[in-house]
């Protein structure tokens, strides 16, 4: 599991609980990745009031075969993420990598971070990921949010 915040057009990883089976993402505390290609990043962008941090350059680095390549392509997904309250990525960051993310809220209800679980696509279909991992991530984020004073 990872916990990250938005830092410009990138996500900054603050917590990393390593999955020994995952070899496609070498993420450590302090790592940054393009927000537009990660489940946490897309989630945080969906709740952001300012998408001006996203530029054409944001889409040109570190992406997988299913990555969206412009903000115009991503806008509908950001709206869906905000409406659904969670995000996923399916080989958008790297080939073979899938993840699902949920928001962490502070006492005022503002989304201040996101957390995700990442898995190998060969072992986890998109449907299975949503069915089995999404509840784990959303529950963990609800627990973290409660610690921060958020009351649902």
pTM assigned to the model: 0.92
Is residue 59 assigned to a domain? yes
3 HSE (CA, 13 A, CB side): 13
Is residue 72 assigned to a domain? yes
Residue 14's alpha-carbon distances to 81, 96, 122, 138, in angstroms, are: 22, 23, 27, 18
Place of tokens 């941090």: 53
pLDDT in tens, 108-137: 999 999 999 988 888 888 788 788 889 999
Is residue 9 assigned to a domain? yes
CATH number of the domain encompassing residue 112: 3.30.450.40
Is residue 77 assigned to a domain? yes
Give the range of the structural domain holding residue 16, as residue numbers without chain letter. 2-147
Asked if 98 contacts 126 with a C-beta cutoff of 8 angstroms, the reply is yes
- Report residue 20's pLDDT band, with 50, 70 and 90 as the boundaries: low
Is residue 152 assigned to a domain? no
The total number of structural domains that make up the chain:
1
Is residue 45 assigned to a domain? yes
pLDDT in tens, 38-55: 999 999 999 998 899 999
Is residue 52 assigned to a domain? yes
């Amino acid at each position: 599991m990872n916990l990250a915040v938005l830092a410009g057009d990138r996500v900054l990883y603050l917590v990393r609980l390593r999955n020994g089976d995952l070899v496609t993402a070498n993420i450590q505390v302090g790592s940054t990745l393009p927000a537009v290609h990660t489940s946490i990043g897309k989630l945080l962008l969906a709740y952001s009031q300012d998408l001006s941090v996203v530029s054409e350059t944001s889409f040109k680095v570190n992406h997988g075969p299913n990555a969206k390549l412009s903000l115009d392509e991503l806008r509908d997904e950001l709206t869906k993420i905000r409406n659904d309250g969670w995000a996923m990525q399916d080989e958008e960051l790297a080939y073979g990598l899938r993840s699902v993310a949920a928001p962490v809220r502070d006492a005022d209800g503002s989304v201040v971070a996101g957390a995700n679980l990442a898995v190998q696509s060969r072992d986890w279909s998109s449907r299975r990921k949503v069915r089995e991992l999404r509840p784990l991530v959303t529950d963990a984020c609800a627990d973290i949010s409660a610690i921060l004073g958020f009351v649902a």
